[in-house]
Amino acid sequence: MPLLTVSLLLSVSTMAQSSHPQTSKGQPRQSKTSKVQKSHTQPTASQTSKDLSSQGPTHQNDEEAALWKVRVAPIVEGCNTDYQKARAIYDWVCQNIAYDMGKDIGDANTCWSQRRGICSGYCQLYIKLAQGCGLQAEEINGMAKTLSFANGTGPHAWVKVKTEKGWILLDATWGSGEVITGQKGTKQYKHQYRSFWFDIDPKWNIFTHFPKEADDQLLPSPISQEQYQRLPIFWPSMGEWGLNADSTLAYCLAHKGAKMPKSYDVPQQALGKMKLLEFPLSRTLQIGKSYRIVVETTDANYRPFSQPQTEWKQEGNRYTTTFKPTAKQRFIRLEIGETNGKGGWNVFTILEYTVEGKR
């Protein structure tokens, strides 16, 4: 398998020990164009639980529309464009709504009042808030790909919203946090805001999200479900590590069934602090064969590491390591280290390879 060269590079993330709960009944940075508001002026409890069932359809719709206008007003305050409003609502939902581990809450009103929901709850809440400030938004249903599913994929829902840029994709469920699986198999939701699930490049989105309707891929040439199933799990954060969505998708579609390196999620603050200039594309590395990894850091507080440790040669902000896997090694990991202010490093895995060959 050839090395990834600069032509393919212009981030990579799958959940390893954590997973997003993407089911039909549910699932689970800071915006420069909008202000994330964790607290805001809200309608009173009686307003948010107002019973409209006794009113006529037209009056009920008018009352509900007015209610959502009240709810969204402080969220989009100060926004001048539809794009800014769409981002502000995304940020608010991600920051304020937790994933419903009971997998019951799938409607907008309950999601709003209870501050939790499943994927459809996130979607419907986003759509109602968007409509409240005049935006057009729609729920997209389909399947998503994650290591948490036994067969690799499962049902999921996300959103498309129309702005001056046209239709854009977002997944507030995945942008809000993750479900952590403990050593004893217990699962717990953890809020962990991610900006890259807003305005997702369709070419990155198709690595993990496959809609029922082909037009909802927002790709110039939609791919088939069979092609989708063969794609590796890459997150939109791949772009933060320097990869180009067009060439990466084209490569993966052309090399059917190619096993790419396993990728991991990293904290928001570490994204983009290192660019991958060259690394092996194959997930499997052969014992005794020579490999090279070249990276470039964009922040002096970050540097590359590898596990097991290899020697890195530094030239300015560029680091290079050349290594040969041994029979004693079962894996090779590429990591990014962040200074902890105490003379040490907090290290996060980016890519993982398996080592094979005669032992």
Q: CB within 8 A of 316, min separation 6: which ones?
A: none
Q: In the prediction, which pLDDT does 147 show?
A: 65
Asked if 107 and 122 count as a contact pair (C-beta separation under 8 A), the reply is no
Give me the pLDDT at residue 153, please.
83
Measured distance CA(51)–CA(65) in Å, rounded = 14
Yes or no: say if 187 and 180 are a contact pair by the CB < 8 Å rule.
yes
Beta carbons of 122 and 129 less than 8 angstroms apart: no
pLDDT at 31: 35
The per-residue b/e assignment along 32-52, b for 16 or more CB within 10 angstroms, e otherwise, is eebebbeeeeeeeeeeeeeee
Give the tokens for residue 330. 């079962």
Scan for tokens 């991600």, then name that residue. Answer: 94
Report the C-alpha gap between 13 and 314 in whole angstroms: 26
DSSP for 94-131? HHH-EE-TT----SHHHHHHHTEE-HHHHHHHHHHHHH
Contact (Cβ atoms closer than 8 angstroms) between residue 172 and residue 10:
no
Cβ 37 vs Cβ 51: under 8 Å? no
Q: Which residue segments constitute the domains of the chain, with CATH numbers given?
A: 15-258 (no CATH), 273-359 (2.60.40.10)
Peptide bond into 308 cis (omega under 30): yes
Backbone torsion region of residue 241, taken as left when φ is above 0, otherwise alpha when ψ lies between -120 and 50, otherwise beta? alpha
Task: Give SS3 for 237.
Answer: helix
CA 86/CA 84 separation, integer angstroms: 5
C-alpha 34/C-alpha 42 separation (Å) is: 19
At position 123, the amino acid (one-letter code) is: C
pLDDT by position in tens, the chain (length 359)? 333 333 344 333 333 333 333 333 444 533 333 333 333 333 333 333 333 333 444 555 889 999 999 999 999 999 999 999 999 999 999 999 999 998 889 999 999 999 999 999 999 999 999 999 999 999 999 999 986 655 578 899 999 999 999 999 999 999 999 887 777 778 888 888 999 999 999 999 999 999 999 999 999 999 999 999 999 888 898 889 999 999 999 999 998 877 889 888 888 899 889 999 999 989 999 999 999 999 999 999 999 999 999 999 999 999 999 999 999 999 999 999 999 989 999 999 999 999 999 88
CA distance 117 to 43: 19
Residue 283 CB partners (closer than 8 Å, separation 6+): 259, 260, 261, 262, 353, 354
What residue spans of 133-193 are helical by DSSP H?
172-176
DSSP state of 135: -
Strands 116-117 and 166-170: unpaired
* Residue ranges in 160-244 assigned as alpha helix (H): 172-176, 202-205, 225-230
* Rounded Cα distance, 19 and 153, in Å: 12
CA distances from 233 to 162, 166, 207, 242 (A): 27, 26, 6, 17
pLDDT at 344: 94
The gap from C-alpha 258 to its chain's centroid, in whole angstroms, comes to 22
Query: CA–CA separation, 28 vs 123, rounded Å?
Result: 12
pTM for the full predicted model:
0.79
